[in-house]
Amino acid sequence: MTDIQSLIDAIAAISESGYERDFLLTWDKSMAQLEKVVLTAQALKAMREANISCRCFDSGLAVSNFRDNSTRTRFSFAMASNLLGLALSDLDEGKSQIAHGETTRETANMISFFTEAVGIRDDIFLGAGHAYMKEVAEALADGHREGVLAQRPAVINLQCDLDHPTQSLADLLHLIHHFKSVKALAGKKIAMSWAYSPSYGKPLSVPQGIIGLMTRFGMSVTLAHPPGYQLVPEIVSMAERGAAESGGNFEVVHDMDAAFAGADVVYPKSWAPYAVMEERTRLLRNDDSAALADLEKRCLEKNAEFRSWECTADRMARTRNGSALYMHCLPADISGVSCQSGEVEASVFERYRIATYRQAGFKPYVIAAMILNARFPDPAATLRKLASRATPRRLS
């Protein structure tokens, strides 16, 4: 209980509030707001592990809208909702009136009469996912302002075309746990590297989320990719500013070996080039299947030129003391396991497999923390009541 109370005291000491604010992009949040979410996630995790119920809602819905496939984030949102006492309802657009022309504004209000949080994944179209989330948020604000909705649900970004905040903050918690404190992250080198994949069209949001967040915590971030595999330029510029403001470092290299050299953390992950994602979005919107097939063929051929961009045992040996932490958002393309050639050598992935599961295990608490901070004006007081009540989560 001492650790729980210390975490709650630390949350109470942060005056800046996330109440009635959506969580769409980490770079739109202040450092104080990010710290509050991280501390809240840690407190919720500690309380659950101490068999203390975290149910701060007696009733209410959490609605998920997954416009792309998901395993970890889908179930993490369900777990987070359940942890706080909310019932989960999944919006299946194919089974709704959206298929008959129902507008975003109407759908957002119709699903939200008893809803406390709406989680959205929309990462397929570059330039569309974040915009869609903002449209939902504005519709909910309008419904609440006009008295249609008794409460204005919080919108949680479960991955868009620009950012994957629940992933990057779970990654941050994993790093804090690994290095024992937030302060210990300063100066640590993390290599966010492109890696070969036998598929194309993977979103940019994971690498962009990492460079956008970790530079703000004083880390030395190296973004590595082959020529032509750039991320959204504005986000790269933002990472440069984040490093300058935090005293960290940010660089872009086109050599995977150089990125791994002396690294404390490696994050080898495939993504499609920014220019390709722009073209893919245009073709998808035009429903041009022939051009899409040609684009995929060209992109896979281009990827194959960089098949050597793989996280191997030899490259891991180049890291600091040969023992850098390997990270991945999962599922990884594992050479000889899930594909013939991929992002990571099977022996390397197996060495860190359990660690990547632990990394994923922080996500339910991050999502729950986002919801709690958005829906309660004083999250520390709410957590203190739950801790003092000490209702067992399960009977012994």
pLDDT, tens digit, 9 for 90 and up, residues 337-393: 999 999 999 999 999 999 999 999 999 999 999 999 999 999 999 999 999 999 999
Q: Which residues pair with 191 in a beta bridge?
A: 222, 266
Is residue 395 included in any domain, yes or no? Answer: no
Segments in 305-362 forming alpha helices (H):
313-316, 346-360
Residue 201 pLDDT greater than 90, yes or no: no
pLDDT at 356: 98
pLDDT at 381: 98
Does one domain contain both 119 and 179? no
Is residue 50 included in any domain, yes or no? Answer: yes
List Cβ neighbours of 306 (8 Å cut-off, separation of 6 or more): 194, 196, 226
pLDDT at 200: 87
Which CATH number does the domain housing residue 376 bear?
3.40.50.1370
Does one domain contain both 122 and 197? no
Does one domain contain both 70 and 155? yes
Is residue 139 included in any domain, yes or no? Answer: yes
Residue 168 pLDDT greater than 70, yes or no: yes
Is residue 394 included in any domain, yes or no? Answer: no
pLDDT at 101: 84
Distance from C-alpha of 128 to C-alpha of 158, rounded to nearest angstrom: 14
Q: Looking at residues 117-129, what average pLDDT do you find? A: 95
**Domain of residue 219, residue span:** 167-360
**SS3 state of residue 383:** helix
Does one domain contain both 141 and 183? no
Does one domain contain both 349 and 200? yes
Does one domain contain both 16 and 143? yes
Does one domain contain both 209 and 90? no
- DSSP labels for 195-245? ---SS----SHHHHHHHHHHGGGT-EEEEE--TT----HHHHHHHHHHHHH
pLDDT at 76: 98
List Cβ neighbours of 147 (8 Å cut-off, separation of 6 or more): none
Q: Which of 177, 231, 229 is nearest to 207 (CA)?
A: 231
Q: Looking at residues 226-233, what average pLDDT do you find? A: 97
Place 1 in a pLDDT band, splitting at 50, 70 and 90. low
Does one domain contain both 145 and 188? no
Angle, CA 315 vertex, CA 312 and CA 318 arms, to 5°: 155
Q: Looking at residues 153-162, what average pLDDT do you find? A: 98
Distance from C-alpha of 21 to C-alpha of 17, rounded to nearest angstrom: 9
| Full-model pTM | 0.97
Q: Which of 164, 165, 192, 181 is nearest to 264 (CA)?
A: 192
List Cβ neighbours of 337 (8 Å cut-off, separation of 6 or more): 346, 349
pLDDT at 246: 98
Q: Do 355 and 326 touch, CB atoms closer than 8 A?
A: yes
Instruction: Give the amino acid at 200.
Output: Y
Does one domain contain both 266 and 368? no
pLDDT at 100: 78
Q: Give the helix, strand, coil percentages of the chain, each rounded to 5.
A: 50, 15, 35
Is residue 256 included in any domain, yes or no? Answer: yes
Give the pair of three-digit tokens for residue 311: 């996280």
For 380, the enclosing helix (H) or strand (E) is helix 379-389
Output the average pLDDT for the chain. Answer: 97
Does one domain contain both 131 and 272? no
Is residue 318 included in any domain, yes or no? Answer: yes
- In the 8-state DSSP scheme, what is residue 324? P
pLDDT at 96: 87
Q: Looking at residues 313-331, what average pLDDT do you find? A: 98
Longest dimension (CA), the chain: 62
Q: What is the pLDDT of residues 253-290, one digit of tens each?
A: 999 999 999 999 999 999 999 999 999 999 989 999 99
Q: What's the number of domains the chain is made of?
A: 2
pLDDT at 2: 67
Is residue 396 included in any domain, yes or no? Answer: no
Q: How many helices (H) and strands (E) does the chain have?
A: 15, 11
Quick one: CA dihedral 303, 306, 308, 309, positive or negative?
negative
Does one domain contain both 135 and 231? no
Does one domain contain both 191 and 210? yes
Q: What is the pLDDT of residues 52-108, one digit of tens each?
A: 999 999 999 999 999 999 999 999 999 999 999 999 999 988 888 887 789 999 999
